[in-house]
Amino acid sequence: MKRILLTVMVIVAGLSAIAPDIHAQARSSNARAATRQEKMDAWHRDMAEFRARSLQDRQLAALTDSIASVQARAALQNQDFVFEADNLTFKNGNLVFVNSTTNFISVKGNRAVIQISPSNYSAGPNGVGGVTVDGAISGQQIIRGKDGRITFSMNVMGIGVNAQVEIYMFPGSNQASATVYPNFNANTIWLSGKIVPYESSNVFEGMSL
| Cβ-contact 105, 82 below 8 angstroms | yes
Tally Cβ neighbours within 10 Å of residue 182. 17
| Cβ-contact 169, 147 below 8 angstroms | no
Domain annotation for the chain: domains and CATH numbers: 1-209 (2.40.128.410)
From first CA to last CA, the distance across the chain in angstroms is 121
Segment 69-89 mean pLDDT: 95
Q: Is the pTM of this model over 0.75?
A: no
Reported confidence tier of residue 57, pLDDT bands at 50, 70, 90 = low
Residue scoring higher pLDDT (109 or 158): 109
pLDDT digits (tens, 9 = 90+) for 4-45: 555 545 444 554 555 555 566 666 777 777 788 888 777 777
| Cβ-contact 169, 157 below 8 angstroms | no
Q: Is residue 58 over pLDDT 70?
A: no
